[in-house]
Amino acid sequence: MKFTFNQKEKLKSKKLIEQLFTEGKSVSAFPLRLVYLPTIFDDGVLVKTGVSVSKRHFKTAVDRNRIKRLMRESYRLNKAVHFNNLTASYAFMILYIGKEKPTLTEMQTRMKQLFEKFSKNISEEKN
RNA sequence: CGAGUAAAUCGCCUUAUCGCUCGGGUUUUAUAUCUGGGAGGAAAGUCCGAACACCAUAGUGCAAUAUAGUGGUUAAUGGCCACCAGCCGAAAGGCUAGGACAAGUGCAACAGAAAGAAUGUACAGGUAAUGCUGUAGUGAAACCAGGUAAACUCUAUGUGGUGCAAUGCUAUGUAAACCAGUGCUUGAAGGCGGCACGCUUGAUGCUGGAGGGUAAGCAGCUAAAGUGUAUUGGUAACAAUGCACUCAGAUAAAUGAUAAGGGCUUUUUUUAGGAAAAGUACAGAAUUCGGCUUAUAGAUUUACUUUUUAA
RNA sequence: GGUGUCGUGGCCGAGUGGCUAGGCUCAGCUCUGCAAAAGCUGCUACAGCGGUUCGAAUCCGCUCGACACCU
């Protein structure tokens, strides 16, 4: 896996997203929250991910864009380490539930914690 | 110099690494790689005006609604420009929904004799006599006429509706299926701007129930009332002509992240060199334009005013 | 992206341009041995900024916020 995050790796289908929120499970590492659901994709991509920030906590579009960009950036840099040995394929949605504007380093550490929690949950489910 | 007024402009830069997105080329159709482009003055609010698209855009009457000095400007406007008038300011200058109450209807709390079909206080003047006349007092407005239309209204001028989630095409699924009601020339239900008249379409229909599918792609989608500049006409808004340029097109939604260096501002320190710290606004395209309004750290330019105060 | 509706004390909610009703809550007092109930008294409001007007919650404009609808 490379440090990429292009169109194919983004979660775009409206239908899938609705299914994800109704049936999916979640892990959280404040201020992040990951909703996931095992899914099979037609185009052979292992993981599709979307990001989201609430309009309630951040009024202006500039702030929301900034946080989403940081989330995408930290996802891009950290996904290789954690998902290389993933067996099933998943749909992800990462939500920002905090109220303060984060920095990249904060975001990265939280993202790592989130993924560690996630892989722990997965292995427990198998056992 | 300070204080102020008006108009206009800019609103961080450079390099490297890792990414995102659109167009083009090569290779392959999984991709890989090369190359070019990639937020704003307000992209915002959606307050006006248009372009464009659809609604099968006959007509008459009644409603509804917008604007309001005069002239000009424009594709158009409720915008803009010039002039007049009124108000504010010492001035430069700013603000103004700025028609009509002698067409009709309404409204005017409290106070006051009295705010329209009702009557009189004090003082002064005057008379044969009397609110007959003036002043005071109340009030935003008062001696008999007025005020108020961002009150109804009248006058003049104008106005179809819905918005790119418009609209067209393709794909998937089944079902022109089932149940109940209603209707088929004795007319259900629509269309013609809101209502009425009138006109018109009209039956495999319309309404409800239960149930099924999609919620995806393409076009619309960016070369235009375009941008820059010069000249000419016009007091100006603006117009005409010449030359040059091509400048985002995403769709769970790209335009980013990090590092280093440099600008700029403030503070501290230092003896005029520098050093350190902090800060570097408002804010993110979504069919496209012309305005208006609102937010905005800081910087620059031009023109003008100057009562006071200092020189 | 577009269209529309609304904003009055802590909560609900009425209001012709002329002193912003009423109920619930809260606080104090009366009553009680103490509470509850009841009674009396009080507190806190027109989303913000301008304009029209003698006077604005009300009329007009702008701004802010909340909610609903259109695929």
Q: Sorting pLDDT into bands at 50, 70 and 90, what band is A43?
A: low
As a rounded value in angstroms, the CA-to-C1' distance for A96 and B180 is: 51
pLDDT higher than 70, residue A2: no
For CA atoms A55, A101, A36, A81, give the dihedral sign.
positive
Q: Which domain holds residue A12?
A: 7-119
Query: Residue A21: which nucleotide is closest by CA–C1'?
Result: B252
As a rounded value in angstroms, the CA-to-C1' distance for A37 and B105 is: 74
Q: Please, how many CA atoms are within 13 Å of residue A44, restricted to the half-sphere of its CB?
A: 0
Residue A1 lies in a domain: no
Residue A58 lies in a domain: yes
Summarize the confidence of residues A62-81 as an average pLDDT.
86
Report the predicted TM-score, pTM, of the whole model to 2 decimal places: 0.81
Residue A126 lies in a domain: no
Domain count, chain A: 1
Residue A124 lies in a domain: no
Residue A103 lies in a domain: yes
Query: Residue A68: which nucleotide is closest by CA–C1'?
Result: B256
Q: Which residues of A22-35 are buried (b: 16+ CB within 10 A; e: fewer)?
A: eebeebebebbbbb
As a rounded value in angstroms, the CA-to-C1' distance for A89 and B156 is: 75
Residue A114 lies in a domain: yes
Residue A42 lies in a domain: yes
Read off the CATH number of the domain in which A102 is found.
3.30.230.10
pLDDT of residue A127: 64
Residue A2 lies in a domain: no
